[in-house]
Amino acid sequence: MQKQDYVSEDARKAQASEKQRSIVIFVLLLAIHIASSVFTFIASRSHDVITIMDNTVPVPAFAGVFFNISNICLIFIVVWFKKKGFILSLSLLLFQFPILYYGMIVQKIMAILPGFFGNFVTIAAIIVIYRRNKKIENYQMIEITYLTRQQRFSQRLFEQTAKALVNAIDAKDAYSHGHSMRVAEYSEKIARELGKSDEECEKIYYAGLLHDVGKIGIDDQIINKKGKLTDEEYEAIKQHPVYGNQILSSISEYPYLSIGAHHHHERYDGRGYPDKLKGEDIPEIARIIAVADAYDAMTSTRSYRDAIPQQSVREEIVKNSGTQFDPRVAKVMQHIIDLDTEYVMKERSTVQELSGNSELSCSDYRGEISEGILLSPCMTSISMLSKPLESSGTSESYSIPTIILFDSLDGRVHMDEHTAKDLNYFEYGEIRFDGKYICAGARKIHTSIHNNGIHEEHHFRTKKKASGGDSYRIEAVRFEDHALIRIFDSTKTMEVVVALPDSARFCYIGLTGENCFISNVHISASETPVADDYIPRIAEKVTYIDVPAGDIPNVQVDGYRRTSSEPIPITDGLRIDFHSMSLPTARLIWHCPYFVLFHSANGKFDAQKAVEYALIRIDGETWDDEKSGAKNELEVDKTSEFISWDEWKRRNKEGIDCSVTFKIEGDTIITETENLGVKLKNTTVISGGVKDVYVTLTADQCALTNIRIRKA
């Protein structure tokens, strides 16, 4: 809740320009002082005369004028530059005394005498000014401290009041614990991505924090009802934005609070409540909170379901962009989700739920299963302690720690048939620490045991019975369609190679067992990927592109832009036709073909070296990434052929014929394609002209075949 002190952008700019002005004035005053001092010195020693209005005046008479100007400059330096100015002015004045002394005593120039006294008077003046400055500064400091204290007090009072209100809302709803706080944080994140200032972000944060304050006025029984709400109950719930507005509108100092509470359930298409506002008529603050609110509702556990996996949440936001959500805000939320590769934005709330599971107590087979540990091409090491459960009464009974290899949208093992289906649960197999294994969905599993130099195949003979407990180390790594797992105990190493089915999405390890108490689990991962041939192949790579190629080789893209087709030079009127089929692992809207427009000196696509001008996805999703050397504008239209995103996914899995055309107009490349009712026109303006620009076909989990190139 504690928000950081901030200096607004405007204040920062004002400070910077003030500093610049001060430096200019300082340099100017110093320059005038030095110039006047030099003139004083020259004039006081001159014997010339000059004529002014028919009167002859000796030049030394001007010395006093220059002398006064130089001293006035020093006084101004003290006025403006306080302590530093005082020290500098005093030093410059004291520096003049030896010169004056030399002139008067050695050279016997008595005309210097007034200057000598003048210097004393100036020194007295700058001391008085400096002391007065200090006094004023002290008064100001006292006043600022008082005001700051007052401001902090008001801020604290506001924060505590807001927190008390939030606690009151959370206390009413058993399943919304922490919801207000998370919505506030997500809203602020979105606002920041939208380029809002610090002040605006803070306003949005507090508006998000108090958006559901109106729930205080709703009956507890309705809020916490587990079953379906009746029409009357739903109407009652729908009143909370109105109550929220009534509660917060009395805080006239912060009008944005009531706006957020009042309109966060409006929909972009005008079908929301309470006022059925539409599009830009909905205050922006409420459009932001609406997306943050929906995101948190989906990523939190509810009475009737678990948290929805992040990618499915992302897909819901894509599906409802332009209907429920402001497309601009939805797009920012999609980008925030993409940046949150570890799904931190939801995990924070679930860490507590899982904290009790750092120890697993498995009395029955798979009694408890750890959360999935994701395997990657970097080696993951897991250490753990396992001992037979004391409750079993005998340490001689079977105690078998086990690893489950699986994939699911939420990274957890699901035994229940319905949840397993909803979360795309897929089990590759199970590896027991006694050497046995079950090959479920994997294509093949191969185990070998190294026992003090003795090499045994498929048997873990020496340890059928568990001892009083053992410590284990597990090393696991996955590279493309193979995974390698090594299990070390005090005497043996079991090595398991798993051939995963086709282009399996993720491979998680779940720790479990039978009659074991697993504790002291520590997980660490190396940062360097293993070599391509680190895992011995036990099965051929499954391919979906083993069909006759078109003009260039077919390409199978197993993950987001993991590989791409041979580059094709873009010429005016170029047309590319190809067939695309989403792989069996594909399950989301954006698992479809993409086009990358790029320049490279050698005509090859190297992600590190090529200059990427555009990334065009046939689902029409785009993020305004800074592309060096090019500006892109994408127009997306849905024609009557578009049925729904679910139908889009189904047809992509079946296989679609795509066609893309390119036009070159001066510095501009126009890319056009229409697939299943999603019509795209992307305009890429390349600075410096179109020279050696190529297109390469890529995708997320698609097989691209029969690629035909037709030049105009």
Q: Which residues here bind Fe ion, judged by CB under 5 A?
A: 212
Distance CA 627, CA 598 (A): 10
Q: What b/e readout covers 421-451, taking b as 16+ CB neighbours within 10 angstroms?
A: ebbbbbbbbbbbbbbebebeebbebbbebeb
Shortest distance, CB of residue 152 to Fe ion, whole angstroms?
31
Nearest position to Fe ion, beta carbon: 212
- Residue among 376, 384, 442, 371 at smallest CA distance from 413: 371
Shortest distance, CB of residue 286 to Fe ion, whole angstroms?
11
- In DSSP terms, 593 is beta-bridged to 699
Q: Which is nearer to Fe ion, 223 or 413 (CB)?
A: 223
* Residue 621: how many other CB atoms lie within 10 Å: 19
Shortest distance, CB of residue 223 to Fe ion, whole angstroms?
11
Q: Which is nearer to Fe ion, 60 or 272 (CB)?
A: 272
The DSSP-derived string for 271-296 is --SSS---GGGS-HHHHHHHHHHHHH
Shortest distance, CB of residue 293 to Fe ion, whole angstroms?
6
Shortest distance, CB of residue 264 to Fe ion, whole angstroms?
6
Q: Under a CB-based contact definition with an 8 Å cutoff, are residues 591 and 584 in contact?
A: no
Distance CA 655, CA 650 (A): 9
Distance CA 298, CA 314 (A): 10
Shortest distance, CB of residue 344 to Fe ion, whole angstroms?
24
Q: Which is nearer to Fe ion, 293 or 621 (CB)?
A: 293
Q: Which is nearer to Fe ion, 185 or 212 (CB)?
A: 212
How deeply is 393 buried, as exposed, middle or buried, from its count of CB atoms within 10 A (0-12, 13-18, 19+)? exposed
Shortest distance, CB of residue 265 to Fe ion, whole angstroms?
6
Shortest distance, CB of residue 18 to Fe ion, whole angstroms?
45
Long-range CB contacts (within 8 A, 24+) of 162-168: 162/1, 162/206, 162/209, 162/210, 163/1, 165/210, 165/213, 165/216, 166/209, 166/210, 166/213, 168/216
- Residue among 564, 571, 598 at smallest CA distance from 710: 571
Q: Which is nearer to Fe ion, 212 or 674 (CB)?
A: 212
Shortest distance, CB of residue 193 to Fe ion, whole angstroms?
22
Shortest distance, CB of residue 239 to Fe ion, whole angstroms?
11
Distance CA 460, CA 448 (A): 9
Q: Which is nearer to Fe ion, 294 or 704 (CB)?
A: 294
Q: Which is nearer to Fe ion, 212 or 558 (CB)?
A: 212
Q: Which is nearer to Fe ion, 122 or 245 (CB)?
A: 245
* Pairing, β 702-710 against β 575-582: antiparallel
Q: Which is nearer to Fe ion, 212 or 284 (CB)?
A: 212
CA-to-CA dists, residue 209 to 178, 184, 217, 260, 303, angstroms:
10, 5, 17, 9, 22
622: Cα within 13 Å, side-chain hemisphere: 21
The token pair that represents 145 in the structure block = 């401290």
Task: Write down how long the chain is.
Answer: 712
Shortest distance, CB of residue 240 to Fe ion, whole angstroms?
6
3-class DSSP state of 516: strand
Distance CA 524, CA 381 (A): 5
Q: Which is nearer to Fe ion, 198 or 212 (CB)?
A: 212
Q: Under a CB-based contact definition with an 8 Å cutoff, are residues 491 and 479 in contact?
A: no
Q: If you search the block for the tokens 């899995």, which residue do you land on? A: 653
Q: Which is nearer to Fe ion, 290 or 704 (CB)?
A: 290
Cα angle value 84/89/90 (rounded, 5°): 100
- Residue among 1, 421, 496, 477 at smallest CA distance from 208: 1
